[in-house]
Amino acid sequence: MSIMREISRSAFCMLKSLSRPWNYVQSASYMKIKIPPSYDDVEFPDKKKLKLVDKVPVSIHATNSSLAVQQRSEAKHCRGPELINSKLLYGQYGVQARDGGYLNSKHFDAWRLYINAKLTSDMFAEWRVEAPWKPVTKKGQGKRMGKGKSPISHYVTPVKAEQIIMEIGGEIELRQVYKMLRHIVNQCPFEARIVSAEILQKEQEKEDWIKNNNLNPFCYEYCAKNNFLGIKKDLSPYDLIWFGKYR
């Protein structure tokens, strides 16, 4: 009788242990293992960290520097899209401007210190914009208006829409540098975004497909060119060039 009682007790304990949801057998399979990406085609620049940017430009023509400053200060370099530096040079990740604006030396210094502190041995970063060169004038506090041009206060870098501001690459994935790039995007004085080579390629393919397969001619360009409802009187000359896509 006692033997049968012990057998029934052990069988009950076994059934109770099997009914518990946390009793399982660990297993591994090749189907669950992700193949690591290959970084054979990654190119590293000569210097992996961001360079120090001069706050004041060095004039090439010292004898005619005042004329160069006057001509550059009158030009408008923030309108329209960027046609040259709109693609990723190293084909990985970067920050792209979505609207025109200006960057001063404070932006360059703050971003350089932040990014260089976060970079590891298998990463690199590089500027894709020029150093500040456009002068910004400002009158002193308490001075009257008039009496000619004000003295130069500081220099800025004009940035156009779709221009790449900075590139980050190396033996990394986007999730590893997303927080760094997001920090730069949040501190931009204009609208910007995080881009990769795949994102830019998909956007270009989508734009080409819409352009080739769109059967509806009724769009912004069609209305502006044909002066629907006299709309030309309310449009600027730039709207007839870029048709509302850029300013």
Q: Which residues contact 39 (CB under 8 A, 6 or more apart)?
A: 170, 171
Gyration radius from the chain CA atoms:
30
**101-128: burial string, b at 16+ Cβ within 10 Å, e else:** bbbbbebbeebbeebeeebeeebbbbbb
CB distance 195 to 131 below 8 Å: no
What pLDDT does residue 108 have? 96
Report d(CA 14, CA 23) in Å as an integer.
12
Instruction: Name which of 169, 132, 157 is nearest 50 in CA terms.
Output: 169
> What is the number of alpha carbons within 13 Å of residue 161 lying toward its C-beta?
10
Write out pLDDT tens, residues 26-43.
666 666 677 788 888 888
What pLDDT does residue 238 have? 87
Q: Would you place residue 204 in the very low, low, confident or very high pLDDT band (cuts 50, 70, 90)?
A: very high
Residue with structure tokens 């792209």? 96
DSSP, collapsed to helix, strand or coil, labels residue 191 as: coil
Whether the pLDDT of residue 88 is over 70: the answer is yes
Average pLDDT, the chain: 83
What pLDDT does residue 94 have? 96
CB distance 83 to 132 below 8 Å: no
| Token pair belonging to 93 | 């990740």
Q: Please tell me the pTM assigned to this model.
A: 0.77
What pLDDT does residue 178 have? 95
Q: Would you place residue 59 in the very low, low, confident or very high pLDDT band (cuts 50, 70, 90)?
A: low
Write out pLDDT tens, residues 62-81.
434 454 445 444 557 888 89
Report d(CA 131, CA 152) in Å as an integer.
17
What pLDDT does residue 61 have? 42
Summarize the chain as % helix, strand, coil (round to 5).
35, 15, 45
* Angle, alpha carbons 240-245-189 (nearest 5°): 125
